[in-house]
Amino acid sequence: MSILVGKKAPDFTTQAVLANDEIDGAFNFAKATAGKYAVLFFYPLDFTFVCPTELIAMDHRMEKFNELGAVVVGVSIDSHWTHKAWRNTAIEDGGIGHVGYTLAADMNHAICQAYGVQSDGGLSGYAAGTAMRATFVIDPEGVVRHMVVNDEPLGRNMDEVIRIIEGYQFHLEHGQVCPAGWDKKKKAFTPADPAKLAAYLSANASDL
């Protein structure tokens, strides 16, 4: 796996199911996310077990992602038709319902390979060739600012994705850095100033 943080996010064009359940035969990621924050998240397969909990959790937070100006796109190696079938399967029957974001198809595995998250099997628990549980946060200039990969049996915390976007936006607005465990209710401090760091640690180290 290569580290993409600080680099341009690989662009792609593929078939996808949009939030309104329509098929887009030539969905272009860069065009869909131009000038906005983007959350690109990969998952192994449709109609599985941990995956639907993650996709539903993401959908439950779409109001907040919209508030932050973030476009969400999910990707697996399934076809767009399988995505559509999963969307149109009720949650109580193991489906995900009409999630409010795009699901992109990566049938030739080019997207997960470009992002370095195609599993080779091995000791990870993933089936070889599937996409790993990887999340990328991309800024409005198309630069990757965050990436994380979970092992196959461990679902992601989608609130952490929100925290990452909020933290980066806070940094850009205020010029401060966000310490461990930061959220909007907690203090930050100005970097490159030892006095500010000392004051922050003196007041907050016990709560870290």
Other residues' Cβ atoms within 10 Å of the Cβ of residue 203: 11
Query: Rounded to whole angstroms, how far apart are CA atoms 158 and 70?
Result: 13
Is the confidence at residue 121, as pLDDT, over 90? no
Task: Report how far Cα 14 is from the mean position of its chain's Cα atoms.
Answer: 18
In this prediction, residue 41 carries a pLDDT of 98
* Residue 129 · residue 109 · CB < 8 Å: yes
In this prediction, residue 101 carries a pLDDT of 98
Residue range 112-134: mean pLDDT, rounded: 91
Q: How much of the chain, in percent, has pLDDT values that exceed 70? A: 100
Query: Rounded to whole angstroms, how far apart are CA atoms 22 and 47?
Result: 20
Query: Rounded to whole angstroms, how far apart are CA atoms 65 and 48?
Result: 25
Distances (CA, A) of 87 to 55, 99, 116: 10, 7, 27
Residue range 47-54: mean pLDDT, rounded: 96
Pairing of strands 102-105, 144-150: unpaired
- Phi/psi for 25 (5° steps) reads -75, -10
In this prediction, residue 54 carries a pLDDT of 98
In this prediction, residue 126 carries a pLDDT of 87
pLDDT band at 21 (very low <50, low <70, confident <90, very high): very high
Is the confidence at residue 135, as pLDDT, over 80? yes
Class of domain 13-157: alpha beta
Predicted TM-score (pTM) of the model is: 0.95
Is the confidence at residue 80, as pLDDT, over 90? yes
Query: Rounded to whole angstroms, how far apart are CA atoms 17 and 134?
Result: 20
Q: In terms of Cα–Cα distance, which of 196, 173, 197 is closest to 184? A: 173
Catalytic residue among 16, 51, 105, 158: 51
Strand pairing partners for 104?
16, 75
Is the confidence at residue 160, as pLDDT, over 90? yes
The pairs formed by 144-151 with CB atoms below 8 angstroms and a separation of 24 or more are: 144/4, 144/5, 144/6, 144/7, 144/8, 144/9, 145/5, 145/6, 146/5, 147/3, 147/4, 147/5, 149/1, 149/117, 151/124, 151/125
Q: Does 112 participate in catalysis according to the annotation?
A: no
Q: Where are the domains of the chain?
A: 13-157
